[in-house]
Amino acid sequence: MTQPIRSTCPYCGTGCGVLLTPTENGLEVKGDPDHPANYGRLCSKGSALGETVGLGGRLLAPQVHGQESDWDTALQLVADKFAASIRDHGPDSVAFYLSGQLLTEDYYLANKLIKGYMGTANVDTNSRLCMASTVAGHKRAFGTDTVPQTYEDIESADLVVLVGSNLAWCHPVLYQRLIAAKAERGTKIVVIDPRRTATCDGADLHLPLEAGSDVALFNHLLAQIYEQGAVDAEFLAHVNGFDAALAAAFNSDLSVTKLDPDLVRQFCNLFLRTEKTVTIFSQGVNQSSAGADKVNAILNCHLATGRIGKPGCGPLSVTGQPNAMGGREVGGLANMLACHLDIENAQHRDAVQGFWQSPCMPQAAGLKAVDMFRAVGDGRIKALWIIHTNPAVSMPDASAVRDAIAGCDFVVVSDVTGQTDTARLADVLLPASAWAEKSGTVTNTDRTISRQRAVLPEPGFTRPDWAQLAEVGRRMGWEEAFTYASEADVFREYAALSAISGDLGKDFDISGLATLSDEAYDDLSPTRWPIADHKQGGRFFADGQFFHADGKAKMLAVTHRPPVARTGPRYPFRLNTGRVRDQWHTMTRTARSPRLSAHLAEPFVEINPTDARQLEIKANDLVQLKSPQGSAVMRARITDAVQTGALFAPIHWTGETAPAARICDTVAGEVDPVSGQPESKASVVSATRFQAA
Ligand code: SF4
């Protein structure tokens, strides 16, 4: 009997291990009982993976200007166009837009090529839409983007606080682990979310705060921590900024949360008297014009109580995508370098450039996602390479992004299908290997590096992304720097580079893996970094050592800022966007599974019964949402899960599946000034019953 192949689920940042066995019709998929992320569990999406691997709609050969082509022609054109743009308009006239779907080896090479050789930092990723605020918050507090906690901490906590996280739908296996812990040890669960989500079903307390008011709530908690004597004075010796953060907390106005004071009292009492508290936070915190401040307001409470880095005790951001963490590690963001180094630090730049022996290195951060597409739109960027993502429907103000891409001089798209709204706008389409056909590594939310292994043959003329990038590098004249025998070769180089991070006093050192043989790389079992066991058995921060120059953490003085867009007579509703349980991003894979599509078959908008009555909208009526940016039409779901004045709509339905329902067309491109992350959960819209003309 064929032995199943161990790999990793390509959806959420939980990073579950899967056992894959090819069958006549596709793949049999089971949870890997030995993987530390899931111990055999899978959610609905993971268990339906086998239904998503068919070749229908696959892009199987390169295309140039809509005509089937060959690799030689297509890649030479890409190399020539990027070289010409750099020559004629400078390095900042080109850009890459990447994805948390990429494997670490792909991500690393893309960054090496554009930063170290093309000479621009105009490389950003759809992770900017996902967790950039957490990256910024971590760096401000810890001196580096370090996730202190692990999944086991969820199971050893006595209290788990979920902020802006619908864990039950968006990280279902982590939710299963949490609910199992609750059954076993009585873990208390608090959900802080404007919407009553499926996660609230398992909660002891739900705080339906006003959208965007998290800073005011956590500032209040910090003031209570101080007033009720819960500060850990000994741990504060390792922390700067306490007095300023506390002063800001005392100046904060809790009333903006519009929460019942009794609920707030219950939450504060639980937090204050429960040493083993884990705070999990996600997109409700990150996708905000005050996202980084929200993150720091949460971290402040953990630093003040010394509850960080210990078993069952600390803040845990959960990432949306399968390799969002790997992208952070390789410097996938426009303001980062590989291995958690900073592009705006000359010493870091020199060290990375020295390792790469590259001809150039940008001296400043590049354009973050929203600004990047604005630069595409106004002609500053003339050559754009988009890899495994669909910004034409997933970026805020998406119709403007479509116009920008359509007007760009030269657009390359690498993807597994040529049928996305973005792919349709490409000059060159490069057929990429799909999840089950390619090999490499990914890092999940709790810093565990796992192997993704090829289990199906590569169909047609598809190629892995790292090989496409390396070939363009060679064709642009950097033969030696971009010659690799395999993805294992790329990984070894990247792991060797990470020694610099340790040398420069940062956290990301996996250089212990730099000497893996091909066989050892192939056999690599899930490995959580830090690899060198120099931090109390792989934990960070419990020893009070942080990554700022003085070794201390920093508490930030943060004050409440409401969402940028204001409701008013014209746009009276606050629109929250998010995911549903059984779909993934723009549905290019999950829509292939009938059972996943059966969960929620159509695009919808949740509307409170009081608002629906006033608008004379009944269940299943078509509703048109209009914002200053655009409009979308979807079915009404009338529910008091959303508050009056609030709406919720999923992000998944797009051009191919429901062209009128592109919700991101209505989302404003407002961003956090610190993190550059868009405010995807607090746009303003009008809502009316839709009548077709
Ligand atoms: Fe995949 Fe996430 Fe589900 Fe795990 S929880 S099976 S990683 S979608």
Do 172 and 77 share a structural domain?
no
By three-state DSSP, how is residue 348 classified? helix
DSSP string, 14-81: T--EEEEEEETTEEEEEE-TT-TTTTT---HHHHTGGGG---TTB--S-EETTEE--HHHHHHHHHHH
pLDDT-derived band at 322 (thresholds 50, 70, 90) equals confident
Q: Are residues 110 and 146 in the same domain?
A: no
**Cα 9 to ligand 1 centroid, rounded to whole Å:** 6
Would you give the DSSP letter of residue 117? Answer: I
Distance 81 CA to ligand 1 centre (A): 39
Q: How far is the CA of 662 from the centre of ligand 1 (A)?
A: 25
- Residues 6 or more apart whose CB falls under 8 angstroms from that of 354 comprise none
What's the CATH code of the domain at 343? 3.40.50.740
Provide the edge-to-edge strand list for the sheet that holds 17-23. 5-8, 17-23, 26-31
Rounded Cα distance between 400 and 391, Å, is 11
Per the domain annotation, does 73 fall within a domain?
A: yes
Are 305 and 286 members of one domain? yes
Probe ligand 1: pick from 6, 43, 165, 452, max atoms within 8 Å of CB? Answer: 43
**Atom 4, ligand 1: residue with shortest CA distance:** 16
Measured from the CB, is residue 456 less than 6 Å from ligand 1? no
Q: What is the pLDDT of residues 192-212, one digit of tens each?
A: 999 999 999 999 999 999 999
Segment 400-410, tens digit of pLDDT = 999 999 999 99
Secondary structure of the chain: what % helix, strand, coil (to 5)? 35, 20, 45
Q: What is the CATH number of the domain that holds 136?
A: 3.40.228.10
Pocket test for ligand 1, best of 8, 30, 38 (most atoms within 8 A of CB): 38
What mean pLDDT comes out for the span 153-159?
Answer: 97
Alpha-helix residue ranges (DSSP H) falling in 378-446: 391-394, 398-407
Q: Are residues 87 and 195 in the same domain?
A: no
307 and 164 co-located in one domain: yes
C-alpha of residue 14 to centroid of ligand 1, in Å: 6
Distances (CA, A) of 681 to 466, 601, 647, 668, 669: 34, 22, 10, 10, 11
Q: What is the token pair recorded at 475? A: 């064709």
Same-domain pairing of 471 and 417? yes
- In ligand 1, the atom with minimum distance to the C-alpha of 42 is 6
Q: Residue 655 — pLDDT band, cuts 50, 70, 90?
A: low
Shortest-distance atom of ligand 1 to CA 11:
8
Question: Which residue is closest in CA terms to ligand 1's atom 6?
Answer: 46
502 alpha carbon – ligand 1 mean position (Å): 32
Structural domain includes residue 341: yes
242 and 383 both lie in a single domain: no
Angle formed by the axes of helices 465-475 and 487-497, nearest 10°: 80
Distance CA 560, CA 386 (A): 36
Over residues 406-426, the pLDDT tens digits come to: 999 999 999 999 999 999 999
Domains: count for the chain? 4
Buried b (16+ CB within 10 A) or exposed e, 374-409: bbbbeebbbbbbbbbbbbbbbbbbbbbbbbbbeebb
Q: Write down the pTM of the prediction.
A: 0.96
Closest ligand 1 atom to residue 584 Cα is: 8
Q: What is the ipTM of this complex?
A: 1.00
Cα 500 to middle of ligand 1, angstroms: 33
Please name the residue ranges forming H helices in 114-241. Answer: 132-142, 151-156, 167-170, 172-185, 214-227, 233-236
Close Cβ partners of 87 (under 8 Å, ≥ 6 residues apart):
none
Using the mean position of ligand 1's atoms as its centre, give its distance from the Cα of residue 261 in Å. 36
Locus of tokens 């995508």: 321
| Residue 472, phi-psi category: left (phi > 0), alpha (psi -120 to 50), beta (remainder) | alpha
Weakest mean pLDDT among 168-172, 365-369, 600-604, 622-626? 600-604
The residue-averaged pLDDT of 293-307 equals 98
Mean pLDDT of 341-367: 96
With residue 466 as reference, give the H or E element that holds it: helix 465-475
Radius of gyration of the chain (CA): 24
Distance 170 CA to ligand 1 centre (A): 8
Instruction: Tell me if 15 CB under 6 Å of ligand 1.
Output: yes
Amino acid of residue 336: M
Q: What is the pLDDT of residue 693?
A: 64
- The answer to whether residue 543 is domain-embedded is no
Report the C-alpha gap between 59 and 43 in whole angstroms.
Answer: 28
Together in a domain, 67 and 22: no
Asked whether residue 501 is domain-assigned, the answer is: no
Report which ligand 1 atom has the smallest distance to the Cα of 8. Answer: 7
Verify whether ligand 1 is closer than 6 Å to residue 31 (CB atom).
Answer: no
- Please give the average per-residue pLDDT across 119-148, as a whole number: 95
**Is 561 a domain residue?**
no
- Amino acid in the structure at residue 664: C
- Please give the average per-residue pLDDT across 259-269, as a whole number: 98
Round the average pLDDT of the chain to a whole number and report it.
94
Task: Evaluate whether 222 touches 304 at the Cβ level (below 8 Å).
Answer: yes
Q: Which of 240, 131, 336 is nearest to 548 (CA)?
A: 240
Tell me the C-alpha distance between 224 and 233, whole Å.
15
Helix (H, G, I), strand (E, B) or coil at 303: helix
Shared domain check, 142 and 272: yes
In a domain, 495, yes or no: no
Report the atom number in ligand 1 closest to the C-alpha of 15.
7
Whether omega before 609 lies within 30 degrees of 0, making that bond cis, reads: no
User: Which amino acid residue places its CA nearest to atom 2 of ligand 1?
Assistant: 12
Share of the chain above pLDDT 90, in %: 86
Distance CA 514, CA 491 (A): 8
Give yes or no: residues 179 and 300 share one domain: yes
Report the distance separating Cα 564 and Cα 386, nearest Å. Answer: 29
Domain stops at, among 525, 554, 583: 554
Q: Measured at the alpha carbon of residue 674, what is the angle toward residues 670 and 679, in degrees to the nearest 5?
A: 25
The reply to whether ligand 1 has any atom less than 6 angstroms from the CB of 45 is yes
Ligand 1 atom closest to the CA of 171, numbered from 1: 5
Q: What is the three-class DSSP state of 278? A: strand
CA 217 to ligand 1 center in whole angstroms? 31
| In the chain, % of residues over pLDDT 70 | 98
Residue whose tokens read 């919720």: 648
Question: Whose structure tokens read 């020559």?
Answer: 87
CA distances from 478 to 42, 110, 467 (A): 43, 14, 14
Task: State the average pLDDT over residues 513-523.
Answer: 96
Q: 9-55 pLDDT, tens per residue?
A: 999 999 999 999 999 878 999 999 999 999 999 999 999 999 888 88
Tell me the CA–centroid distance for residue 51 and ligand 1, in Å: 15
CA of 527 to the centre of ligand 1 (A): 18
510 inside domain: no
Distance, in Å, from the CA atom of 97 to the CA atom of 75, rounded to the nearest integer, reads: 18
CA of 323 to the centre of ligand 1 (A): 12
With respect to residue 536, please indicate whether it lies within any of the assigned structural domains: no
Judged against a pLDDT cut of 60, whether residue 535 lies above it is answered with no
pLDDT value of residue 502: 84
Decide whether any atom of ligand 1 lies within 6 Å of the 29 Cβ.
no
**Residue 10 in contact with ligand 1 by CB distance below 6 A:** no
Residue 398 domain boundaries: 63-128+332-440+458-484
494 lines ligand 1 (CB under 6 A): no
11 Cβ closer than 6 Å to some ligand 1 atom:
yes
Burial, 516: exposed, middle or buried (Cβ in 10 Å; 0-12, 13-18, 19+)?
Answer: middle
The CATH number given to whatever domain includes residue 674 is 2.40.40.20
Q: Same domain, yes or no, for 279 and 411? A: no
Do 75 and 29 fall into the same domain? Answer: no
Q: What is the CATH number of the domain that holds 43?
A: 2.20.25.90
pLDDT of residue 84 exceeding 80? yes
The answer, yes or no, to whether any atom of ligand 1 lies below 6 A from the CB of 12, is: yes
For ligand 1, the distance from its centroid to the CA atom of residue 17, given in whole angstroms, is 9
Give residue 4 CA to ligand 1 midpoint distance, Å. Answer: 18
